[in-house]
Structure 1
Amino acid sequence: MPDNYSVDIDELLRAKDALAALSMGEELAGKYLNVKSQTDGWEGTRGSFARSVGPQEKRDTQRIVAAVEALTGAFTATYDAFVAQISAVQEPQNQALEDIQNQASKNPGNVRR
C-alpha cells in the first residue's frame, strides 16, 4: 500500500465533464420515440402481418425505452458518485491550503520559500 495519495483535481474535473455528457441521456428515449413515431402504423391495421408485427413492435419499443432509461439511470448514478468523490478529495485539499495560508499570515517570519 502506498505511503501517500495524490490526485490531479483538474483531470478529475475533465473526467466529470465527460461523464456529464453520458448522463444526459434522459433526452434519448424521447428522441427515439419522436423519430420512431414517423413509422407508426407501417405494419397496417388488418391481416396476419399487422396482427403479428404490431404487438411485437410495441413490445420492442417498450424494451428499448426501458433499456435506455436504465442505462441513463446507471450513468447518472455513476456521475453523482464521481462528483461526490471529487468533493471528498477537493474539500480536504482546499482546507489544508487554507490552513497553510492562515498559518503563514500569522507567522510571516517562519515561512520558508
Structure 2
Amino acid sequence: MSVKDVIKECKLFYLAGQKTTSVLLVRTMVLLSKHPNWQARAREEVTMIFHEVLRLYPPVAMLPRVVSKDTQVGDMCFPTGVQVVLPTILVHHDHEIWGDDAKEFNPERFVEGVLKATKN
C-alpha cells in the first residue's frame, strides 16, 4: 500500500465513522424517547459512570480557596486571607474515604447517589 492509499483509507474511516456514529446516536435517542423506562435506567447508569470518572480523573487536581473570615476546623485555625488548597486528586483516591477499591473503576459506588458513595 502506498502512502497515498493509506491516506485515502484514513479519510474513508474518518468520514464513514462520522456518519455511522451520528446515525447510531440519533436512533438511540429516538428509541429512548419512546421507552421512558429505559431512558431512566440509561440516565442513572451514565450518571454513575460520569461520577466515577470524575472521581478517578478530576478535571482540576487542586481547588485553591482564600479564607474570607477567621475559621476554625477541628484543631486548625485559618486566619482571614490565607489560601487553602484542597488536593482533589488525593481526596478522590483516599482509601479511608472510598474504601479498599479507591483506585479502581467502580461506578456502582454511586448507585445510591453522591452523598452515599463513600464508605463512611
TM-score by structure 1 length?
0.31
TM-score by structure 2 length?
0.29
- Looking at secondary structure, tell me which structure has more strand per residue: 2
- Looking at secondary structure, tell me which structure has more helix per residue: 1
> Which one has a bigger Cα radius of gyration?
1
The higher relative CO (CA closer than 8 Å, separation ≥ 6) is in: 1
